[in-house]
Structure 1
């Protein structure tokens, strides 16, 4: 399933695994994904977060404050062992796939993972960002700006799974975004992806395993 992710996004998944192990946690959660996004140097997500003043030390301290260190014996854990994702971690990666598809992206990038994190305000990653003084909606706008998509798109958040739209918008149709993406396609700035729903669902199944991902 590696072909679903950009190189930067694949690096984020590896870094998230490392961070979960560093904190001796049993699973990769949204907090580890957030830390990995900040650490990754080349992706849009990391550049956006750093521009907003988020540092690795900030996120590290917040994780330490919220969760502390777990009980997993890191010394007895193989360096290439694979930790499963928490339920929220899996959900965020599914959201990332949704975002990539909705925006017509060829692969899931770090920006889509961050957009997935920003969909819900009841996850640990969101609470960390809010504690650091960030507005989730304004951060979302900044991501869209970095992607070269008009601000009108950022103002319309997609519907969270199983719930109503969180920003109070009455329609899921992204009219302004559709026009912008059409123009981007004309300029060969985006490649649409078609028929990858099964791949994304399969990806989440694989990420849920405790065995090494292949």
Structure 2
């Protein structure tokens, strides 16, 4: 599948693997893919600027979530745990942010959500009539994928799937 990725999209996926390894994550999650896209794709950065935000703002929104919820957990998980008497914030404070043991060897595998985002990126490229998958398609796949961390970070920056899709389609038409 990666043979259809643009150079920038390949770099974004490679960066996501590095971010996941640095985070000592058990899997490459959608938030890691988003961080990779933000770091490596100039087209996505320009698109975000056009939408009135920037890559740094989305990165900061992801960082806020990572500090609040460790290892891919989100507000729904915290609420579910709270319903059975477990306070996620208290556990995180006691154990620290590094809940997972360090990984050795190869890159972590892709989570179900990350695989879904990559598949949706392919579908977005096909729907736009593009032969390769670029960062804009990854961004659409991530926005469409339903991952709460990514969706909330985008929402914090005033972005949602219809807004992002409109901007991508507009740029696609302008490029001819």
Taking structure 2 as the reference length, what is the TM-score of the superposition? 0.71
> Which of 115, 118, 125 lines up with 2:150 in the alignment?
125
Aligned to 2:84: none
Aligned-partner SS, 1:148: helix
Residue 113 (structure 1) aligned with residue 138 (structure 2):
yes
Unpaired runs of 5+ residues, structure 1, are 150-183, 190-214
Map of 1:24 onto structure 2: 24
Q: Which of 58, 62, 70 is the matching residue for 1:59?
A: 62
Give me the whole-angstrom Cα distance separating, in 1, the residues matched to 2:6 and 2:168: 17
What whole-Å deviation, never above 9, does each CA across 1:38-74 have from its counterpart, x for those lacking one?
A: 11143x2232234432413333233332335443444
Q: Which runs of 5+ in 2 are unaligned?
A: 72-96
Contact 1:9 1:110 in 2 (8 A): yes
Question: Quick one: structure 1 residues 58 and 128, their matched pair in 2 at CA, closer, same or farther if it must change by over 3 Å?
Answer: closer
Contact 2:41 2:135 (8 Å CA) reproduced:
no
The answer to whether the 8 A contact 2:4-2:133 is kept is yes
CA contact (8 A) 1:30 1:89 kept: yes
Which structure features the higher share of helix residues? 2
Deviations 1:70-125 (A, max 9, x none): 43444x534xx221111111011111111112222111111111111222445321
The equivalent of 2:9 in structure 1 is: 9
**Aligned residue for 2:118?**
93
| 2: CA distance, partners of 1:35 / 1:144 | 22
Alpha-carbon distance in 2 for matches of 1:88, 1:10 = 18
TM-score by length of 1: 0.60
Where does residue 147 of structure 1 map in the other structure? 172
* Counterpart position of 1:136: 161
Contact 1:88/1:123 (8 A) holds in 2: no
**Aligned counterpart in structure 1 of residue 104 of structure 2, from 65, 73, 77:** 77
Q: In the alignment, is residue 48 of structure 1 matched against residue 47 of structure 2?
A: yes
How many angstroms apart in 2 are the aligned matches of 1:48 and 1:64? 27
> Could you report, residue by residue, the CA deviation over 1:3-61 in whole angstroms, capped at 9, with x for unpaired residues?
2110000001011111112222111111111111111143x223223443241333323
* Cα distance, 1:147 vs structure 2: 2.4
Q: Over aligned residues, Cα RMSD in angstroms?
A: 2.4
The number of residue pairs the alignment matches comes to 147
SS at match of 2:66: helix
